[in-house]
Amino acid sequence: MEAGFNIILAWIPGHTGVKGNTEADKLANIDKTLNVPADIKIDKFDFLPFIKQKIVNEFKVEWTKQFKTKGKWYQQCQSDFSINPWFHKFTFVDRRHLTSIIRMRTGHCHTPDHLFKINCSDTPFCECGQIGSITHMLLECPINKTNQFDLYQELVNIGSQTPISIQNLLHNINDQTLRKINQFLTIFQIKI
């Protein structure tokens, strides 16, 4: 008081309003009402699968929520959540091609329209004059076709469903499709 300060001591509850804290407090004190012995040993492998499943289930819920506002392209390529990555069944995929396919699946490619969208290019147009989308670059661009190799025709020849949609192709990717896309990227030296 002599220095001109007025000090007030107040108790502020630190966990008030923190989601889940009330439940945690109840669980922490449950042993008092159940008379559970304190020295019970529980092996982590007894409850780890339950925790893992709960985490996976909660992630799936968040995964689904995210697609309501963003990731529409990716949702069409990967509509459901999987524990294993989509490429786990392909043993021959090299890093360069794997990276290209992942970029295609996420929609973050080095295509003219995407580079334009993120302000890394002055134009969304391909050298041929059309909008340089991933679909255009892979299936439609006359610059990326020869008499020897036309990706669209190659995919039709191996039984891909027509009309061919890049998202559907990437959603249902199989060994043959992956090989044809990688062959296309190599022949035309396309960096996706």
CA-CA distance, 93 to 95, in Å (whole number)? 7
Which residue range is the domain that position 141 belongs to? 45-192
pLDDT tens digits along 35-78: 767 777 888 888 899 999 999 999 888 888 888 888 888 888 88
pLDDT tens digits along 140-168: 999 999 888 999 999 999 999 889 989 88
Does pTM surpass 0.85?
no
Residue 76: φ, ψ to 5°: -75, -25
pLDDT tens digits along 16-26: 666 677 777 77
User: Between these two residues, 182 and 35, which has the higher pLDDT value?
Assistant: 182
15 lies in a domain? no
109 lies in a domain? yes
Residue 152 CA, distance from chain mean position? 26
Q: What separation in angstroms does the CA of 29 have from each of 23, 25, 41, 45?
A: 10, 6, 18, 24
Contact at 8 Å (CB) between 85 and 173?
A: no
So what's the pLDDT on residue 14?
66
21 lies in a domain? no
2 lies in a domain? no
- Other residues' Cβ atoms within 10 Å of the Cβ of residue 117: 13
34 lies in a domain? no
So what's the pLDDT on residue 113?
94
22 lies in a domain? no
Residue 111 has pLDDT above 70, yes or no: yes
73 lies in a domain? yes
59 lies in a domain? yes
Number of domains in the chain: 1
Residue 109 has pLDDT above 70, yes or no: yes
